[in-house]
Amino acid sequence: MKGFTLLEVIFSLAIIAILTGMVTTSFRTAQIKKEQQGIVQSITASLEKQKSDSQTGKDGSNYGVRFATSSYMTFKGTAYASTSASNIVTTLDSNFQISETITNSTNVIYFSKLTGGANETATITVSHITDRVPPALLTVESSGAISVIE
C-alpha cells in the first residue's frame, strides 16, 4: 500500500490555507468597495435632492449639505443651524470617513434658488480607514453639476 507522507499532507494544507487567505482578502476588498459605492451614491442623492429642492423653489428657500468627518447633514437655507428640526443627519459606518475641499470654512455647500448653482466648488472624498480601496471622489461645480470620479 502506498499512502501520503506527513510532509505531503502538511504541504497540501499550507497551499489550501494560502489560497483561502487570498480569496478571503479579495472578497473583503470587494465588500469594502461596494459599501463605499453605497455611501457615495447616498451623498450624491442627497446633493441632487437639495439642488432639486432649491431649483424648484421649495418653500421659497435654498437647500444645502454640510460635511463632517463621520457624517453629513442636509439643511434648509444658506447656513447650517445644528438646532433646526428640518436637518437630516446621515452618519457613516465607522470604517469610512469624509474629507472635503470646500473653499469656505463652514464645510457647507448650498444651491441657489431656480438656477441650482452651488455657492462653492467642492471635492468630497470618501475613504476607508484601512486604505484597502482607493478613495472615491465627488465633485460639485459652481454650476451645480455633481459628478462621481471613478
User: Which one has a higher pLDDT value, 131 or 118?
Assistant: 118
Q: In 3-state terms, what secondary structure has residue 92?
A: coil
| CA–CA separation, 85 and 83 (whole Å) | 6
**pLDDT value of position 1:** 58
33: pLDDT confidence band, cut at 50, 70 and 90?
A: very high
- What contacts 111, CB < 8 A, 6 or more positions away? 50, 51, 54, 55, 62, 63, 64, 117, 118, 119, 144
- For residue 46, pLDDT over 70 is answered with yes
**pLDDT value of position 96:** 95
Q: Summarize pLDDT for 78-115 with one digit per residue, the tens.
A: 999 999 999 999 999 999 999 988 877 788 999 999 89
